[in-house]
Amino acid sequence: MNINDNLYIGLDIGSSKICAVMCDVKQDNSIEIKGVGTSSSSGLNQGDITHLKKLQASIKQAIARAEHDSGCTCNKILVNIPALGLEFIHNTGLLVSKSETGQITKSDQIECIKRSKNISYPSNKRLLHAIPLLYKVEDVAVQSPIGVFGRRLEVQSHLVLSKETVLSGIHKILKDINFSIKGMMFCSQALTQVLLHEYERSQGCFLVDIGGSSSKISFIKNNRIQFSVVTPMGGNIITKDIATCLNISFSEAERIKILYGSLALNCINPQETIDILCNKNGRKKIKLLLLCQIIESRVRELSNFLIKKMPLISDTSYNIVIGGGGSLQKGLLLFFKHYLNRNTRESTLDLKSIMGNTSYHTAIGMVLYGLKTHAIAYHPVKNPFLKRCKQWIKQLY
């Protein structure tokens, strides 16, 4: 296999599957997707690592498939932290500058951000991110404090806390299989780079990522996540609702949800039926409307949760962008447009391409976010002397 210093793997550890994407970073900071790999997620439950070896095997399998698909190998990786179990806190840091010029310096800014991290949290938690949201110099809001005249600097930061056991477990797994970890992040940070337009990241937008075991909702403005919420209401809970209500297996519930489920209740013929396989009575017919009402009930609950936790989500000044596998549910876009905000949209990416495949959005976004924050960078390719000589000769003749 080829070795390239500009190859990085984005690894998305999800509740139902693990996705790895091999990316080649180009000189203009764009990326080329060289290969992808997936595996079923084992050893992980509700955001907790329940079996380290099983999770390691799942991660190795996804990476191996991406390497085989690309024909390349690398040892640099960026990885997300499972969202369930994350905690989000706003905290303020204060500092009195001692700058001789009377202006706020870069070191003042860094120190103030450090002070915003000084909060008391349980010993089983660990700080994952500190995202500066708002700076004030002498109580006046500024976009960047550096160079502003004043002594009193204040910063409000959005802190993301993770479970210590999860961070340590993922770190150990990747180190044991000889990977250099270039970044560990909250998945919404990655998705902002793939799903949102530049003006949405700047002017304000809600990102709703509906996954298997959870939904992650973040408000992004000024190119930063302002606040976030994670709820265990994901696609799997809808499948479980269907399985319980209709007395069928989880796999059968997932099948009919994908094939027949819809949130457009007013477009369904009340007399239309579908065949299902019950646990005890074998095959039987049910009304299609019943299936769709079960799905609609849970999605309505999610919508009410969003309105309660983030009242601003109904403000038509901001777009809502939906992503994740759960966003593919038929009728979801129109339901959110009617129930939440008419300015709701789906991904504009081509669903038939790898870039447009919802399974790989987070993994790809992590590499893009790493480039944006300079956690990773393009390394100029050094041609051997003899190869350069051949190129010179070709140019001359």
In tens digits, what is the pLDDT along the chain, a chain of 397 residues? Answer: 555 789 999 999 988 899 999 999 998 989 999 999 999 999 988 888 999 999 999 999 999 999 999 999 999 999 999 888 899 999 999 999 999 899 999 999 999 999 999 988 888 999 999 999 999 999 999 989 999 999 999 999 999 999 999 999 999 999 999 999 999 999 999 999 999 999 999 999 999 999 888 999 999 999 999 999 999 999 999 999 999 999 999 999 999 999 999 999 999 999 999 999 998 888 999 999 999 999 999 999 999 999 999 999 999 999 999 998 888 899 999 999 999 999 999 987 766 677 778 889 999 999 999 999 999 988 887 665 555 566 666 666 5
Residue 79 placed within a domain: yes
Tokens of 118: 């000084």
pLDDT of residue 351: 61
Q: What is the pLDDT of residue 46?
A: 83
Question: Which of 297, 315, 333 is the last residue in one of the domains?
Answer: 315
Are 62 and 137 part of one and the same domain? no
Q: Does residue 64 fall inside a structural domain?
A: yes
Asked whether residue 238 falls in the same domain as residue 307, the answer is yes
Q: How many CB atoms lie within 10 A of CB 309?
A: 13
Residues 51 and 35 in one domain: yes
Q: What are phi and psi of 354, to 5 degrees?
A: -65, -40
pLDDT of residue 356: 74
The tokens of 253 are what?
Answer: 């519930």
User: Same domain, yes or no, for 99 and 79?
Assistant: no
| Model pLDDT, residue 280 | 84
- Look at the chain and report how many structural domains it folds into: 3
Q: Residue 174 falls within a domain, yes or no?
A: no
Provide CB contacts within 8 A for 207, sequence distance 6+: 188, 191, 192, 195, 196, 216, 217, 218, 219, 220, 321, 323
The Cα 319–Cα 197 span in angstroms is 11
Residue 272: per-residue pLDDT: 94
CATH number of domain containing 267: 3.30.420.40
pLDDT of residue 15: 81
Distances (CA, A) of 160 to 14, 126, 130, 186, 223: 18, 9, 7, 8, 17
**Helix, strand, coil proportions of the chain in percent (round to 5)?**
40, 30, 30
d(CA 32, CA 53): 32
d(CA 24, CA 5): 9
Nearest to 360 by CA among 323, 330, 329: 323
Cα pseudo-dihedral 165, 169, 172, 176, rounded to 10: 160
For residue 335, being part of any structural domain is answered with no
Q: Are residues 60 and 122 in the same domain?
A: no
Q: Are residues 157 and 140 in the same domain?
A: yes
Taking residue 72's Cβ as centre, other Cβ atoms within 10 Å add up to 18
Domain shared by 104 and 56, yes or no: no
* Alpha-carbon gap, residue 294 to 286, rounded angstroms: 13
Residue 391 in any domain: the answer is yes
Domain assignment present for residue 28? The answer is yes
Separation CA 341–CA 260 (nearest Å) = 25
User: pLDDT at position 47, please?
Assistant: 84
In terms of domains, do 78 and 92 share one? Answer: no
CATH code, domain carrying 108:
3.30.1490.110
* Domain that includes residue 51, residue range: 1-84+349-397
72 and 7 share one domain: yes
**Is 337 part of any domain?**
no
Claim to verify: residue 8 and residue 79 sit in the same structural domain = yes
Q: Looking at the domain assignment, is residue 379 inside a domain?
A: yes
Q: Which of 143, 162, 181 is the last residue of a domain?
A: 162
11 within 8 A of 359, measured Cβ to Cβ: no
Among 118, 143, 162, residue at a domain's last position: 162
Q: pTM, whole model, 2 decimals?
A: 0.87
**Exposed e or buried b per residue across 166-196, where buried means at least 16 C-beta atoms within 10 angstroms of its C-beta:** bbebbeebbeeeebeebbbbbbbbbbbbbbb
- Look at residue 96 and give its three-state secondary structure: strand
Same domain, 47 and 67: yes
CB 169 within 8 A of CB 53: no
Same domain as 298, residue 259:
yes
3-state class of 8 per DSSP?
strand
